[in-house]
Amino acid sequence: MIRHNGLHRERAKRPTLEAVAARAGVSRSTVSRVINGEGTVSDEFRAIVMHAVNELGYVPNSAARSLVTRRTDSIALVVSGSPVGARSDDPLFSATVRSATRELEEAGKRVTLMLADSTAGRLRVEQYAASGHVDGVVLVSAQGTDPLPAALARTGIPVVSLGRPTVATHAAYADVDNVGGATSAVEHLLAGGRRRIAAIAGPPDMVAAQDRLKGYREALRDTGHRSIIAVGDLTLASGADAMRQLLRDDPALDAVFVAGDLMAIGALRVLSESGRRVPDDVAIAGFDDIEAASYAVPALTTVRTPREGQARAAVRLLLRQIDGGPVSSTILPTELVIREST
């Protein structure tokens, strides 16, 4: 009996929503919106409320909140259709997932990471989302032929794609300007006097790779220069193989635009082995500005993509959609970083 009374008194002393509001100097409804992860509160007030929450040790009753809001406060971060080689070698993949996870956790959401690289895996994700286990999905889908974006859209659950999907759906997306970035890189090569500019494209079933190849072609469209293209799978080895193919196809080429930095670094090695000096004989420009780009020999000119910003933008779009706010897709600008390779 004594233990029961002590427990009752302990529960009675737990800080309330009203106590947090009083400590923060805001209304109870503002505290509620912050606790529920709604996107209608400014960053300033959100920080003030969370400071009060931490000071008082307030713990929201998640079960009661779920009954009222009909939300789980859980988000699925789904990685679908990524080529195995590209994912294991891509240093931007972990940064993208980490940034999205951090943004969700800061909004008070639990994150469920799900991989869907097979038909069974995609079906499992679709059923999990449709069963009400999560409030929404952030989808990282690399392949344009991936059926999961359309399947999730049919369930009616809020979905935001990290990258533009090829299949037309009503889902919003956050992407980077792949076309514009590629165009700026090729225009830079043209401005340097290069006239036989080849390209190493990424996988043809990747939307970003298609867009980067489109930017390359658009830059050459009105110049009278022909396109010279080889294809890789975003890995070092594929970049090296593609560069060997280009040198066989056109030994007189004087520049290469590469749709990924790892492939560009592989291409640099082949150029060195073939006796071509970079940039004197052949200039080369990559895409993404991974950390290794600045340590390549010579340092790689490349297109910097705001991958962490893209992940944060996707999460914010999803949270706004869950809250019932207006949502439209966004494309973030890229930046050409000029180094010694051009």
Instruction: For residue 88, give the CATH number of its domain.
Output: 3.40.50.2300
Q: Is residue 341 part of a domain?
A: no
Contacts of residue 170, Cβ cutoff 8 Å, sequence gap at least 6: 153
User: What range defines the domain where residue 142 resides?
Assistant: 74-175+307-332
Q: Is residue 260 part of a domain?
A: yes
Domain boundary among 69, 91, 113: 69
Are 165 and 266 in a shared domain?
no
Please report, for the domain that includes residue 18, its CATH number: 1.10.260.40
Are 168 and 312 in a shared domain?
yes
For residue 255, which phi and psi values (nearest 5 degrees)?
A: -160, 155
Are 267 and 318 in a shared domain?
no
The pLDDT of 270-296, averaged and rounded, is 96
Q: Is residue 339 part of a domain?
A: no
Are 284 and 170 in a shared domain?
no
pLDDT of residue 84 exceeding 50, the answer is: no
Q: Is residue 342 part of a domain?
A: no
pLDDT single digits (tens) 188-216: 999 999 999 999 999 998 889 999 999 99
Higher pLDDT, 278 or 121: 278
Which H helix or E strand runs over 301?
strand 301-304
The pLDDT of 323-342, averaged and rounded, is 94
The pLDDT of 267-285, averaged and rounded, is 97
Sheet holding 301-304, edge to edge: 228-231, 197-201, 255-258, 283-288, 301-304, 335-337
pLDDT of residue 331 exceeding 50, the answer is: yes
For residue 150, which phi and psi values (nearest 5 degrees)?
A: -70, -35
Least confident of 5-14, 36-45, 83-92, 272-281: 5-14
The CA distances from residue 181 to 113, 259, 285, 297, 332, in Å, are 30, 10, 11, 22, 11
Q: Is residue 116 part of a domain?
A: yes
pLDDT at 68: 47
End-to-end CA distance of the chain: 80
Are 184 and 289 in a shared domain?
yes
Angle (CA) 311 317 319, round 5°: 105
CB 255 within 8 A of CB 198: yes
pLDDT single digits (tens) 318-329: 999 988 888 889
Are 94 and 158 in a shared domain?
yes
Closest CA to 301 of 265, 263, 257, 339: 339
Q: Is residue 337 part of a domain?
A: no
Are 272 and 295 in a shared domain?
yes
Are 276 and 184 in a shared domain?
yes
pLDDT at 144: 64
Contacts of residue 41, Cβ cutoff 8 Å, sequence gap at least 6: 30, 33, 34, 49
Bridge partners of residue 201, in order along the sequence: 231
Bridge partners of residue 75, in order along the sequence: 111, 136
The pLDDT of 229-234, averaged and rounded, is 95
pLDDT of residue 162 exceeding 60, the answer is: yes
Are 123 and 219 in a shared domain?
no
Are 241 and 281 in a shared domain?
yes
pLDDT of residue 263 exceeding 90, the answer is: yes
328 burial (CB, 10 Å; 0-12 / 13-18 / 19+) is exposed
Residue 34 one-letter amino acid: V
Top mean-pLDDT range of 68-82, 116-130, 155-169, 305-319: 305-319
pLDDT at 59: 65
Domain boundary among 69, 104, 128: 69
Between 207-220 and 178-191, two packed helices, what is the crossing angle to 10 degrees?
40
pLDDT of residue 8 exceeding 50, the answer is: no
Domain boundary among 17, 34, 69: 69
Average predicted confidence (pLDDT) for the chain: 85
Bridge partners of residue 288, in order along the sequence: 304
Are 299 and 183 in a shared domain?
yes
For residue 335, which phi and psi values (nearest 5 degrees)?
A: -140, 130
Sheet holding 74-80, edge to edge: 110-116, 74-80, 136-141, 159-162, 172-176, 330-332
Q: Is residue 214 part of a domain?
A: yes
Q: Count of domains in the chain?
A: 3
pLDDT at 184: 98
Q: Is residue 340 part of a domain?
A: no
Least confident of 14-23, 84-93, 204-213, 217-226: 84-93
Higher pLDDT, 2 or 288: 288
pLDDT of residue 10 exceeding 60, the answer is: no
The CA distances from residue 21 to 12, 16, 29, 49, in Å, are 18, 9, 9, 7
pLDDT at 7: 41
pLDDT at 39: 61
Are 94 and 109 in a shared domain?
yes
Top mean-pLDDT range of 110-114, 185-189, 232-236, 319-323: 185-189
Contacts of residue 134, Cβ cutoff 8 Å, sequence gap at least 6: 72, 74, 75, 76, 112, 128, 157
